[in-house]
Amino acid sequence: NISAWWNFGSLLATCLALQIITGIFLAMHYSPDISMAFSSITHITRDVQYGWLIRNMHANGASLFFICIYLHIGRGIYYGSYLYKETWNTGIILLLLVMTTAFVGYVLPWGQMS
């Protein structure tokens, strides 16, 4: 009973790799200083080669990552994976950790809450 729904796990891994790589490149140029935060974003967008692309890939990759997570959970619900308590609870913990990490990455950079 393998269907297209089973592809979302590998798409999650691809999205996560994209987020880590683009996040590292963005962190190389970002300055969290109160007076430099917006200037560093402008620097990334305008002066870094393909900085605008890296920034957009990171922002849109996060949305794609969560879409894949929700579809992955939907597949689990559809196929009754919630009956496997240990596996399901591990997935719930991972979901909460991912949501916490996304929130901290969204709020933590000084003055950059979009």
pLDDT in tens, 18-53: 999 999 999 898 887 778 878 888 899 999 999 999
Has residue 32 been placed in a domain? yes
Q: Of residues 9 and 15, which shows the higher confidence score?
A: 15
**Taking the complete model, does pTM exceed 0.95, yes or no?**
no
Other Cβ atoms within 10 Å of 60 Cβ, number = 11
Range of the domain at 68: 4-107
CATH number of the domain enclosing 89: 1.20.810.10
pLDDT, residue 113, reads 54
Nearest-10 crossing angle of helices 8-29, 37-46: 110
pLDDT, residue 112, reads 58
pLDDT, residue 105, reads 78
pLDDT, residue 6, reads 77
Has residue 53 been placed in a domain? yes
Has residue 112 been placed in a domain? no
Alpha helices in 30-84 (DSSP H): 37-46, 51-78
> Mean of the per-residue pLDDT values for the chain?
88
| Alpha carbons 109 and 104: distance in angstroms, whole number | 8
The string of pLDDT tens digits covering residues 58-112 is: 999 999 999 999 999 998 999 899 999 999 999 999 999 999 988 887 776 665 5
Number of domains in the chain: 1
Has residue 113 been placed in a domain? no
Has residue 114 been placed in a domain? no
pLDDT, residue 8, reads 81
Other Cβ atoms within 10 Å of 56 Cβ, number = 13
